[in-house]
Amino acid sequence: MSKKSDSTGLDAYLPLILTAAFLLGCFMIALSDVRSGAQRMTVGVSAVLSGSASEESDPRQPKKSKLMQSGSLHYRLVSPTETHSKRESREVTAPVAVSSEPSVSSEAPSQSAPEAVTSEPEPVDSQTQPEQVSSQEEEEPAFRLPNSHYINFTPPKEGRVAYLTFDDGPSSNTDDILDILDYYNVKATFFVIYHKDMENQYKAIVDRGHTIGLHTYSHNYARIYRSEKAFFNDLDRIDAYIYSVTGVHSKIIRFPGGSSNTVSRHYSTDLMPVLKESATRRGYAYHDWNVDSEDAAHNNLDPDKLLANVKRDLTKYRKPDILMHDSGGSKRTTVEALPEIIEYIYAQGYKMEGLQLDSYAVHHNW
């Protein structure tokens, strides 16, 4: 009788026990889901934070330019695969007013120019030597380009065209200069002389849409400034060579030392007026400059100084012609300064083009 009563009492509590067990199971499942979700969120946040940190500290990525850091430009993230037409423009801070009064600076010629032009060392293709680049991170150039970048495409102010010009190349710097110009969708002008074993660089200048100009074959003042005949013989020689390599004849020239140079007087009195008149009569367009980076006067001038030199005079002109040099290791800092120079020019509302026969020509008239 006692056993039957105990069994009946247990049966009465069984539904409560099962219900409690069911609720406890549901609670444990819910708790497990909450913990799992919290763990996934923690991992996700950690990944984002670590990704940001690695991006900031990754030595393969360039530091933001000073213009970007200071907020002088308004940027938009774009992909290198985007075309120029798809890049929307944004306004930037108001540029300095443009003055039409001319002022010029002079290229610093070397009076002891060598009798023969020496060849530049072969450029290193970083794409074929990734291990070497990564093992020498401390020597990586400041202009190293990321996979995507911030850039400003300000609608240019009416009539504002800047001409980036590079003298004395091609050289071991040319490939990097061309990469930077492509990166910013900029065209420039290269006033070239003869360098041995640089056929690929001459071709690349033309193939990538830039203007190739003539700066004489030898760039030897004693040779080219002996007489009118000597000058044009040397000029014809570089034109013939460029044509043999690229299939292009050029009628755009720059006199070594500029059209107002005084070095020529050591070899022939009053030759420059004759050369300027004769060049024009022969169908050449000669170009001097009105903005001088001053990289001719100093080898490997500090990039900040190069930028400051360009900023000093750029906005004085609606059509500035900017003198830079493409000559081997001695102008490496010109390459390093080039991205910030281009960004600053964009910020002032200029577009950048290669010189053409009908382009505005800066002439030194003293």
Quote the strand ranges of the chain, DSSP E.
76-78, 149-151, 161-167, 189-192, 211-214, 252-253, 285-286, 291-292, 321-325, 351-352
pLDDT of residue 154: 61
Fill in the DSSP letter of residue 214: E
Residue type, 277: E
Q: How far apart are CA 266 and CA 162, in angstroms?
A: 34
Using an 8 Å Cβ cutoff, are 330 and 164 in contact? no
pLDDT of residue 84: 33
- The secondary element (H helix, E strand) that includes residue 39 is helix 2-57
Bridge-based pairing state of the strands 161-167 and 189-192: parallel
Write the pLDDT tens digit of every residue in 126-171.
333 333 333 333 444 444 444 344 454 567 788 999 999 999 999 9
pLDDT of residue 79: 36
Nearest to 170 by CA among 235, 140, 111, 215: 215
Q: Got the DSSP string for 294-316?
A: -TTTSTT--HHHHHHHHHHHGGG
Which tokens belong to 212?
């190739």
Using an 8 Å Cβ cutoff, are 313 and 290 in contact? yes
> What ranges do the domains of the chain cover?
1-30, 126-135+159-352
Quote the strand ranges of 96-225, DSSP E.
149-151, 161-167, 189-192, 211-214
pLDDT of residue 25: 75
State which residues of the chain have pLDDT below 50.
1-4, 41-68, 70-150, 152
Predicted TM-score (pTM) of the model is 0.64
Q: What is 126-135+159-352's CATH number, 3.40.640.10, 3.40.50.2000, 3.20.20.370, 3.90.1170.50?
A: 3.20.20.370
Which residues are 162's β-sheet partners?
352
